[in-house]
Amino acid sequence: MDRLDPSPAFSVATFNAHAGVDGWGRPYDVVAACRMIDADVLVLEENWAPDDGPSLAARVADALGYEARELALAAGRLAGPHPDADARWMRPLDWRGKSHAIFLDSELPFSEKVARSRRFCEAEPGRWGIAVLSRLPVVRTDALDLGRLARDRARRSALAVTVDTTAEVTVVGTHMSHITYGAPRQFLRLARAVRGAVGTRPAVLAGDMNLWGPPVSLLLPGWRRTLRAKTWPAWRPHSQVDHVLVRGRLLVLGGAVLGTVGSDHLPLRVTLGMEQPS
């Protein structure tokens, strides 16, 4: 017979912030979005850190009382609002075109026209990556290198942050490559790296997996999905690519996909508790 530990429940969320802008480069209020998400531990993908100012994660941490751990995955540029922006979140099928907002250095050979454009040349230089923010005490942090796939736009890593919930729990945040780039190999690297970093501790794995739930479960045996709900694209979601998974003595007490906040992804938050033998 198991019972719920009397220690308080805690919440974990994942949110792909798309560098704090829409597809045209129009900024939205990331701090307000994270205040609405209201998680004890927040995994933030596509965190943007300009060369001459605080990152999105640092701004959220300062405003909302988090401790932030950040990891850069690629250098690049963030463009301002496009003059032809319309009511849509972005121009259809323009994820790497010259009206889009995020340009990573690794993409430059794909379009010399984009690299010569005024929009690119005037864009803000910085670093694109992931972050884990915690209101719980942070015990340790480990960066887990997952390498770079040949067709991917960035090197990938996971950020393992162990927090104190009266028992230690490791929250691993990541942003995986797309399946068309060979992501299954990267998931195998992730599974091995997390086993080495986490050991037998209860753990949470959260982030934009760029993959649907069933293959995620197949590629990450031993992890349990906490919530099944559509998260992308935010304006008409048809797929779940954002996930929170757990292993060990963690109980899922509740969860929800939250409303549109400005990104192309919907935030996902779950509430967890600890179980132990009676």
Q: Look at residue 159 in the predicted model and tell me its pLDDT.
A: 98
In-domain check, residue 90? yes
> What pLDDT, on the 0 to 100 scale, is given for residue 1?
41
CATH number at residue 118: 3.60.10.10
Residue 265 covered by a domain: no
Report pTM. Answer: 0.94
SS3 11: strand
Q: Which pLDDT belongs to residue 111?
A: 62
Does any domain span residue 156?
A: yes
SS3 assignment, position 135: coil
Q: In 10 A of CB 252, how many CB atoms?
A: 15
Entry field: residues in the chain: 278
Q: For the chain, which ranges sit under pLDDT 50?
A: 1-6
> Considering the domain boundaries, does residue 272 fall inside one?
no
pLDDT digits (tens, 9 = 90+) for 98-117: 678 998 887 665 567 777 77
In a domain, 165, yes or no: yes
Residue 86 lies in a domain: yes
Q: Cite the beta strand spans of the chain per DSSP E.
A: 2-4, 10-16, 41-50, 67-78, 102-104, 124-134, 138-147, 156-164, 168-175, 203-208, 224-225, 242-247, 250-257, 268-277
Name residue 57's amino acid: A
The answer to the question of residue 276 being in a domain is no
- The answer to whether residue 232 sits within a structural domain is yes
What is the per-residue pLDDT for 14? 98
Q: What is the dihedral of CA 171, 177, 179, 182, to 10 degrees?
A: -110
Q: How many domains does the chain divide into?
A: 1
Pair of tokens at residue 192: 């091995």
pLDDT on residue 48: 98
CA distance 63 to 34: 10
* CA 72 to chain CA centroid, nearest Å: 12
Q: What is the CA radius of gyration of the chain?
A: 18
Position 241 scores a pLDDT of: 98
pLDDT at 185: 92
> Residue 91: its pLDDT value, please?
85
